[in-house]
Amino acid sequence: MGTVAAALLIMGSSVPAFADEPAQEPGPVLIAEGAGVVPGTVTDAPIAGSEVAEGVDSGAPLEEDLPIPGETDGPELLGPKEPLSEYCGPGHWFAHITKNKKNTMKVYDKAFVKNTKSYSIDFKFTSKKAGTTTVGGSVTLSGEFKALWLGKIKAEVNVEASKSWTSELGVEATGKVKAHDTVYGDYGIMKENVYGYTAYRYSNCKTGSKQYTTAWAPYREGWLIH
Protein backbone atom coordinates (compact mmCIF):
# COMPACT_ATOMS: atom_id res chain seq x y z
CA MET A 1 0.00 0.00 0.00
CA GLY A 2 1.39 3.36 -0.99
CA THR A 3 1.70 6.97 0.06
CA VAL A 4 -1.04 9.57 -0.14
CA ALA A 5 -0.27 12.25 -2.73
CA ALA A 6 -1.98 15.29 -4.17
CA ALA A 7 -3.54 15.29 -7.64
CA LEU A 8 -3.92 17.95 -10.28
CA LEU A 9 -7.26 18.18 -12.07
CA ILE A 10 -7.69 18.66 -15.77
CA MET A 11 -9.84 21.76 -16.28
CA GLY A 12 -13.44 20.66 -16.80
CA SER A 13 -12.71 16.99 -16.13
CA SER A 14 -12.80 14.64 -13.14
CA VAL A 15 -9.74 12.71 -14.38
CA PRO A 16 -6.53 13.61 -12.47
CA ALA A 17 -3.55 14.62 -14.64
CA PHE A 18 0.02 13.70 -13.77
CA ALA A 19 2.81 15.23 -15.80
CA ASP A 20 5.50 12.66 -15.03
CA GLU A 21 5.56 8.89 -14.79
CA PRO A 22 7.86 7.45 -12.10
CA ALA A 23 11.34 6.25 -13.04
CA GLN A 24 10.82 2.60 -13.95
CA GLU A 25 13.68 0.85 -12.19
CA PRO A 26 13.78 -2.50 -10.36
CA GLY A 27 13.06 -2.33 -6.65
CA PRO A 28 14.92 -4.08 -3.81
CA VAL A 29 14.84 -7.86 -3.60
CA LEU A 30 11.90 -9.14 -1.52
CA ILE A 31 12.37 -12.17 0.74
CA ALA A 32 9.50 -14.34 1.94
CA GLU A 33 9.52 -15.73 5.47
CA GLY A 34 10.94 -19.24 5.52
CA ALA A 35 13.04 -18.87 2.36
CA GLY A 36 16.01 -21.24 2.29
CA VAL A 37 18.60 -18.47 2.26
CA VAL A 38 21.32 -17.55 4.74
CA PRO A 39 20.01 -14.46 6.58
CA GLY A 40 21.61 -11.19 5.55
CA THR A 41 23.14 -12.50 2.30
CA VAL A 42 20.48 -11.62 -0.27
CA THR A 43 21.22 -8.59 -2.44
CA ASP A 44 20.95 -7.29 -6.00
CA ALA A 45 24.74 -6.83 -6.26
CA PRO A 46 26.47 -8.65 -9.15
CA ILE A 47 28.25 -11.88 -8.24
CA ALA A 48 30.47 -14.17 -10.32
CA GLY A 49 32.68 -17.21 -9.93
CA SER A 50 32.88 -20.93 -10.60
CA GLU A 51 31.10 -21.73 -7.32
CA VAL A 52 28.03 -19.61 -8.08
CA ALA A 53 24.90 -21.67 -8.78
CA GLU A 54 22.81 -20.11 -11.54
CA GLY A 55 19.04 -20.21 -11.26
CA VAL A 56 17.31 -22.79 -13.44
CA ASP A 57 13.95 -22.19 -15.11
CA SER A 58 11.40 -24.07 -13.03
CA GLY A 59 8.91 -24.37 -15.90
CA ALA A 60 6.07 -23.77 -13.44
CA PRO A 61 2.97 -21.75 -14.43
CA LEU A 62 3.32 -17.97 -14.12
CA GLU A 63 0.98 -16.48 -11.51
CA GLU A 64 -1.18 -13.47 -12.34
CA ASP A 65 -1.43 -12.45 -8.67
CA LEU A 66 1.41 -13.87 -6.58
CA PRO A 67 1.10 -12.75 -2.92
CA ILE A 68 3.76 -10.28 -1.75
CA PRO A 69 5.20 -10.85 1.76
CA GLY A 70 3.72 -8.57 4.39
CA GLU A 71 0.82 -7.29 2.28
CA THR A 72 -2.66 -7.21 3.82
CA ASP A 73 -6.06 -5.83 2.86
CA GLY A 74 -6.94 -2.43 4.25
CA PRO A 75 -10.15 -1.58 6.13
CA GLU A 76 -13.48 -0.88 4.45
CA LEU A 77 -13.80 2.79 3.52
CA LEU A 78 -16.95 4.88 3.61
CA GLY A 79 -18.41 6.20 0.38
CA PRO A 80 -18.28 9.92 -0.42
CA LYS A 81 -21.11 12.01 0.99
CA GLU A 82 -23.64 13.20 -1.55
CA PRO A 83 -23.45 17.00 -1.88
CA LEU A 84 -26.29 18.95 -0.29
CA SER A 85 -26.21 21.52 -3.07
CA GLU A 86 -28.86 21.64 -5.79
CA TYR A 87 -26.28 22.14 -8.54
CA CYS A 88 -22.89 20.41 -8.80
CA GLY A 89 -21.77 21.73 -12.16
CA PRO A 90 -21.63 19.65 -15.34
CA GLY A 91 -22.29 15.94 -14.87
CA HIS A 92 -19.18 13.78 -14.61
CA TRP A 93 -17.91 10.29 -13.88
CA PHE A 94 -15.92 9.64 -10.70
CA ALA A 95 -14.19 6.70 -9.04
CA HIS A 96 -14.26 5.83 -5.36
CA ILE A 97 -12.02 3.34 -3.52
CA THR A 98 -13.85 1.34 -0.85
CA LYS A 99 -10.93 -0.97 0.06
CA ASN A 100 -7.18 -0.83 -0.49
CA LYS A 101 -6.45 -4.49 -1.24
CA LYS A 102 -3.13 -6.25 -0.70
CA ASN A 103 -0.66 -5.82 -3.53
CA THR A 104 0.37 -8.74 -5.73
CA MET A 105 2.97 -9.59 -8.38
CA LYS A 106 2.38 -10.48 -12.01
CA VAL A 107 5.13 -13.08 -12.54
CA TYR A 108 7.06 -13.14 -15.82
CA ASP A 109 10.05 -15.33 -14.89
CA LYS A 110 10.55 -18.22 -12.43
CA ALA A 111 13.75 -19.97 -11.38
CA PHE A 112 15.17 -22.11 -8.59
CA VAL A 113 18.49 -23.27 -7.13
CA LYS A 114 18.86 -26.59 -5.28
CA ASN A 115 21.81 -27.06 -2.92
CA THR A 116 22.69 -30.71 -2.36
CA LYS A 117 25.90 -29.91 -0.48
CA SER A 118 26.45 -29.99 3.30
CA TYR A 119 27.39 -26.28 3.35
CA SER A 120 25.86 -23.09 2.00
CA ILE A 121 26.65 -21.98 -1.56
CA ASP A 122 26.28 -18.75 -3.53
CA PHE A 123 23.36 -18.47 -5.94
CA LYS A 124 22.32 -16.02 -8.63
CA PHE A 125 19.00 -15.39 -10.34
CA THR A 126 18.97 -13.33 -13.55
CA SER A 127 15.72 -12.17 -15.18
CA LYS A 128 15.53 -13.71 -18.67
CA LYS A 129 11.90 -13.07 -19.60
CA ALA A 130 10.12 -9.73 -19.84
CA GLY A 131 6.52 -8.63 -19.95
CA THR A 132 4.24 -5.62 -19.70
CA THR A 133 1.53 -4.91 -17.14
CA THR A 134 -0.95 -2.06 -17.60
CA VAL A 135 -3.64 -0.40 -15.52
CA GLY A 136 -6.81 -2.48 -15.63
CA GLY A 137 -9.80 -3.89 -13.79
CA SER A 138 -11.84 -7.01 -13.18
CA VAL A 139 -14.42 -5.55 -15.57
CA THR A 140 -13.52 -4.17 -19.00
CA LEU A 141 -12.42 -0.54 -18.68
CA SER A 142 -12.34 2.03 -21.47
CA GLY A 143 -9.31 4.29 -21.86
CA GLU A 144 -11.12 7.08 -20.03
CA PHE A 145 -12.01 4.84 -17.09
CA LYS A 146 -8.46 3.46 -16.91
CA ALA A 147 -7.21 7.04 -16.61
CA LEU A 148 -9.85 7.71 -13.97
CA TRP A 149 -8.74 4.75 -11.85
CA LEU A 150 -5.04 5.46 -12.36
CA GLY A 151 -5.56 9.03 -11.17
CA LYS A 152 -7.48 7.82 -8.11
CA ILE A 153 -4.82 5.24 -7.19
CA LYS A 154 -1.97 7.72 -7.62
CA ALA A 155 -3.74 10.43 -5.63
CA GLU A 156 -4.96 8.34 -2.69
CA VAL A 157 -2.89 5.16 -2.49
CA ASN A 158 0.41 4.98 -4.38
CA VAL A 159 2.01 7.94 -6.17
CA GLU A 160 4.40 5.52 -7.94
CA ALA A 161 1.59 3.80 -9.84
CA SER A 162 2.00 3.85 -13.62
CA LYS A 163 -0.29 3.35 -16.61
CA SER A 164 2.12 0.78 -18.08
CA TRP A 165 5.27 -1.02 -16.93
CA THR A 166 7.60 -3.30 -18.93
CA SER A 167 10.00 -5.45 -16.91
CA GLU A 168 13.73 -5.56 -17.63
CA LEU A 169 16.07 -8.36 -18.66
CA GLY A 170 19.34 -9.08 -16.86
CA VAL A 171 18.30 -7.98 -13.36
CA GLU A 172 20.09 -10.06 -10.72
CA ALA A 173 19.32 -11.30 -7.23
CA THR A 174 22.14 -13.03 -5.34
CA GLY A 175 22.80 -14.59 -1.96
CA LYS A 176 23.60 -17.88 -0.25
CA VAL A 177 21.32 -20.91 -0.19
CA LYS A 178 21.43 -23.05 2.95
CA ALA A 179 22.86 -26.57 2.94
CA HIS A 180 20.46 -29.20 1.61
CA ASP A 181 17.85 -26.58 0.75
CA THR A 182 16.19 -25.05 -2.31
CA VAL A 183 15.60 -21.38 -3.07
CA TYR A 184 12.95 -20.19 -5.51
CA GLY A 185 12.85 -16.85 -7.29
CA ASP A 186 10.01 -15.07 -9.10
CA TYR A 187 10.57 -11.97 -11.19
CA GLY A 188 7.71 -9.73 -12.13
CA ILE A 189 5.78 -6.49 -11.78
CA MET A 190 4.03 -5.47 -8.56
CA LYS A 191 0.41 -4.35 -8.83
CA GLU A 192 -1.35 -1.86 -6.57
CA ASN A 193 -4.81 -3.36 -6.11
CA VAL A 194 -7.93 -1.53 -4.95
CA TYR A 195 -11.65 -2.27 -4.85
CA GLY A 196 -14.34 0.29 -5.47
CA TYR A 197 -16.78 1.68 -7.98
CA THR A 198 -17.31 4.22 -10.72
CA ALA A 199 -20.52 6.23 -10.91
CA TYR A 200 -21.96 9.27 -12.68
CA ARG A 201 -22.77 12.39 -10.70
CA TYR A 202 -25.48 14.47 -12.36
CA SER A 203 -25.61 18.23 -12.34
CA ASN A 204 -28.38 18.05 -9.69
CA CYS A 205 -25.83 16.35 -7.38
CA LYS A 206 -27.52 12.94 -7.53
CA THR A 207 -25.38 9.86 -8.09
CA GLY A 208 -26.30 7.20 -10.62
CA SER A 209 -25.86 3.43 -10.33
CA LYS A 210 -22.45 2.16 -9.21
CA GLN A 211 -20.28 -0.27 -11.15
CA TYR A 212 -17.97 -2.14 -8.78
CA THR A 213 -14.57 -3.48 -9.83
CA THR A 214 -11.16 -4.51 -8.59
CA ALA A 215 -8.74 -2.10 -10.26
CA TRP A 216 -4.95 -2.22 -10.39
CA ALA A 217 -1.94 -0.30 -11.63
CA PRO A 218 1.71 -1.44 -11.88
CA TYR A 219 4.17 0.37 -9.62
CA ARG A 220 7.43 -1.61 -9.35
CA GLU A 221 9.32 -4.65 -10.62
CA GLY A 222 11.79 -6.98 -8.97
CA TRP A 223 12.70 -10.40 -7.56
CA LEU A 224 10.78 -12.23 -4.85
CA ILE A 225 12.86 -14.92 -3.11
CA HIS A 226 11.05 -17.73 -1.31
pTM of the entire structure? 0.85
d(CA 7, CA 130): 31
Helix, strand, coil abundance in the chain, percent, nearest 5: 5, 45, 50
d(CA 25, CA 216): 19
Q: Which pLDDT score, from 0 to 100, does residue 12 have?
A: 30
d(CA 147, CA 77): 22
Percentage with pLDDT > 90 across the chain? 76
Task: Count other Cβ atoms within 10 Å, centred on residue 94.
Answer: 15
Give residue-wise pLDDT tens across range 185-217.
999 999 999 999 999 999 998 999 999 999 999
Q: Which residues lie closer than 8 Å to 175 by C-beta, 6 or more apart?
A: 37, 38, 41, 42, 43, 122, 123, 183, 225
Give residue-wise pLDDT tens across range 93-120.
999 999 999 999 999 999 999 999 999 9
Percentage with pLDDT > 70 across the chain? 90
Return left, alpha or beta for 156; rule: phi > 0 is left, psi -120 to 50 is alpha, else beta. alpha
- Of 9-13, 15-19, 65-69, 88-92, least confident by mean pLDDT is 9-13
Q: How confident is the model at residue 3 (pLDDT cuts 50, 70, 90)?
A: very low
26-36 mean pLDDT: 94
| Res 182 pLDDT > 80 | yes
Q: Which pLDDT score, from 0 to 100, does residue 22 have?
A: 66
Q: 133-155 as b/e, with b when 16 or more CB fall inside 10 Å?
A: bebbbeeebeeebbbbbbbbbbb
Q: How confident is the model at residue 127 (pLDDT cuts 50, 70, 90)?
A: very high
